[in-house]
Structure 1
């Protein structure tokens, strides 16, 4: 469980942890990230909060979702156009 700061939404705090894990290689490119259910278990958050975390990371281009398979870290080499 995470000790949440009261002055910031929980989804933002969990999203920041996930961003850090992606940046430090805990979740390397093309690796699966925890599902919403797994985020619930690890951080003690609601389903809607976990969904907001995934949505934020997708909107930032850090992860992508394959229906039926899960969510994965974006591969910077695959997403670059140059």
Structure 2
């Protein structure tokens, strides 16, 4: 589990981890990223925090969401 720094919001720290996984190829373009529920389990965060992570990554164009299917890494 991630040890959270007290000086940054948790959603930002989790988003940073996912950004790094996208950058290093852990999550390839077109592959599914963890759902909000999976983020809750992996990082010990609240559902609202996981939703904020997804919103931030969508706003940056790093991921897209297919309703009913999940969120996926955007092609560059």
TM-score, length basis structure 2: 0.99
- Could you tell me how far apart the structure 1 residues matched to 2:24 and 2:73 are? 12
Q: Does 1:48 align with 2:48?
A: yes
- Could you tell me how far apart the structure 2 residues matched to 1:20 and 1:67 are? 25
- Could you tell me how far apart the structure 1 residues matched to 2:5 and 2:74 are? 29
Aligned length: 76
Rg larger in structure: 1
TM-score, length basis structure 1: 0.92
* Other structure's SS at 1:4 match: coil
Q: Flag as ranges the 4+ runs of structure 1 deviating above 4 A.
A: none
The match for 2:10 is 10
How far off its partner does 1:2 sit? 1.1
Equivalent residue runs for 1:3-82 within 5 Å: 3-76=3-76
* Other structure's SS at 1:64 match: strand
- Could you tell me how far apart the structure 2 residues matched to 1:18 and 1:48 are? 16
How far off its partner does 1:16 sit? 0.2
Structure 1: gaps spanning 5 or more residues: 77-82
